[in-house]
Amino acid sequence: MSLEREPLPSTLGIAWRQGADHLRQAGVEEADADAELLLLYLLGISKAELLRDLRERFPVAKADAWLELLERRVNGVPVQYIIGEQYFFGRAFEVSESVLIPRPETELLAEAVLEVADRLWPDQAAPPVVLDVGTGSGILAVTLAAERPWWRVIASDLSPDAIGMARRNAQKQEVASRITFVKGDLLTPFLAGDEYPSIDVLVSNPPYIPSSDISGLQREVRDHEPRLALDGGEDGLNPYRIMAGQLSLMPVLPRVVAWEVGAGQADDVATLLRDAEVWDEIRFVKDYAGIDRHVIAVK
């Protein structure tokens, strides 16, 4: 069924239903939710306003734009990239195809870092320095800076586009003055010299998809999310291997290392850290599907 052959929706409620039906017939899994987000974006209103005004007339002037939004979603563009926004830890973050779309499981990494750092640095007068490597849209750096205003936060990424977006998100959340942004590859900028303070907490959600698996990903991911932020090398472990080797080269070893990992990678990543024989504790945090998704090392 083509939406162009349907009559113009007479009300906002009918537009929502027709849009969801169109997406569903095209195989979009979250058809109702995506149609809702697209309609809210089109109209510039909240969900509460949409529910209140379901019987209001659909604006004829927006008909072409509505069809265009739906067709972009049908063609595989993630809804977050279409509307340019995704929520993380209760905050709206700007996203585009230059950064990964934030995932709910990464919120669990932020929670784990907050918990362990609060335990190790209870005195606000002596806060930790936290480094977010591969910051992308800045979700971890911005969230940690917003949740703990007294922490010192550094956000790094190899992509200048990602750094620019992370900076904008920090400005939007009014924490930009408390985050230092660094362009560089993994831990390389922090290995020598005194340009940056010693790192107390290292957090990262690096690329971890094996190169050969990328072609089999959902088209929304494969065709639209940046390969630089997906491809972890032959077995997906290259970023962890490199960072584990770089840790010993840092002026001071972080007391906390917290990494998000791919399914089935937690044991291998933990082994990379155990080889250093400096950690008092290495534990896993499971995601909402029960998968060991985060590796936390503490000394």
Residues 122-138: pLDDT tens digits?
A: 999 899 999 999 999 99
What burial class does residue 248 get, using C-beta atoms within 10 Å of its C-beta: 0-12 exposed, 13-18 middle, 19+ buried?
exposed
Pairwise CA distance, residues 12 & 91, whole Å: 27
Q: Is 138 annotated as a binding residue?
A: yes
Of 52, 79, 58, the C-alpha closest to 6 is 58
pLDDT at 1: 42
Residue 294 corresponds to which tokens in the numbers above? 């985060």
Q: Is 7 annotated as a binding residue?
A: no
* Mean pLDDT on 160-174: 97
* Mean pLDDT on 84-88: 97
Phi-psi region of 124 (alpha: psi -120 to 50; beta: other; left: phi over 0): alpha
Q: Is 205 annotated as a binding residue?
A: yes
Pairwise CA distance, residues 11 & 133, whole Å: 47
pLDDT one-digit tens code per residue, 185-215? 999 999 987 789 999 999 999 999 999 999 9
Q: Is 106 annotated as a binding residue?
A: no
Q: Is 193 annotated as a binding residue?
A: no
pLDDT at 5: 52
Measured at the alpha carbon of residue 48, what is the angle toward residues 47 and 51, in degrees to the nearest 5? 85
Q: Is 13 annotated as a binding residue?
A: no
What burial class does residue 141 get, using C-beta atoms within 10 Å of its C-beta: 0-12 exposed, 13-18 middle, 19+ buried?
buried
Mean pLDDT, the chain, as a whole number? 94
User: Dihedrals φ, ψ of 92, to 5°?
Assistant: -85, 125
- Domains of the chain plus CATH, in order, are 3-75 (1.10.8), 100-298 (3.40.50.150)
* Mean pLDDT on 261-282: 94
Output DSSP code: residue 132. E
* Mean pLDDT on 226-252: 93
Residue 198 corresponds to which tokens in the numbers above? 């010693």
Pairwise CA distance, residues 13 & 47, whole Å: 12
Inform me whether the pLDDT recorded for 120 exceeds 60: yes
Q: Is 206 annotated as a binding residue?
A: yes
Q: Is 164 annotated as a binding residue?
A: no
Inform me whether the pLDDT recorded for 7 exceeds 90: no
Pairwise CA distance, residues 166 & 136, whole Å: 6
Q: Is 236 annotated as a binding residue?
A: no
Pairwise CA distance, residues 85 & 74, whole Å: 18
Q: Is 137 annotated as a binding residue?
A: yes
Rounded to two decimals, the pTM is: 0.91
